[in-house]
Amino acid sequence: MSSFFAFLKRMRFINRWSLMRNTETENIQEHSLEVAMVAHNLAALKNEYFGGNLDVNKVAVIAMYHEVSEIFTGDMPTPIKYFDPKLRSLYGEVETLAQEKMLSTLPKRLQAVYKPYIVDAETLPEWPIVKAADTLSAYMKCVNELHAGNDEFKEAHDTILAKLKALDMPEVDMFIEEYVPALSQSLDQLNYYKI
């Protein structure tokens, strides 16, 4: 018996942004899907506009599993995770143990198939795109919260935007320019502009 999917189903119980007042909750399962979709799009932008040669589907799968360690650790808020280098290092060790634990829940013959996505993802050449997508997902959360009148996310918005700009990734800049403005439009506005 394998508990892999039983653990994956628990992702929906782990909420993000736990230190902040949210107008809308977000769990790591829905976050992982969003990051996978954003990463897929970033890889496509890189390939089509900036001479990249990424496997867009592999990028999406890496992103899909990028938070599975949090099934065991919970979502460590960024201000705590990066409060002290020693704490970040220790948390990194805990994340690795959690990734290995998750891998062990698969049937033995599948573990080698999943290891690159669950344990070794940060060593893969596609990882910078996935990390950028993760940051973009956080930025879009901030945009939505600010649009809903929640000023609690103002500092996070500005900090994350600066971090995205510092990446110096043209596909990230294009994503922001192409997709982010529509985030604050109503459904009626979105439908109007599509006609």
| DSSP reduced 3-state for 118 | helix
CATH number at residue 175: 1.10.3210.10
Domain of 122?
4-194
Long-range pairs of 72-78 with CB within 8 A, sequence gap ≥ 24: 72/97, 72/98, 72/101, 72/102, 73/98, 74/14, 75/14, 75/15, 75/16, 75/18, 75/28, 77/17, 77/18, 77/19
| pLDDT above 90 (res 31) | yes
| DSSP reduced 3-state for 27 | strand
Two structure tokens written together for 52? 């990249």
Q: Please tell me the total count of domains within the chain.
A: 1
Task: Give the single-character DSSP code of 25.
Answer: -
What digits encode the pLDDT tens for the residues 137-168? 999 999 999 999 999 999 999 999 999 999 99
Count other C-beta atoms under 10 Å from residue 7's C-beta: 15
Please give the average per-residue pLDDT across 93-121, as a whole number.
Answer: 96
What digits encode the pLDDT tens for the residues 100-111? 999 999 999 999
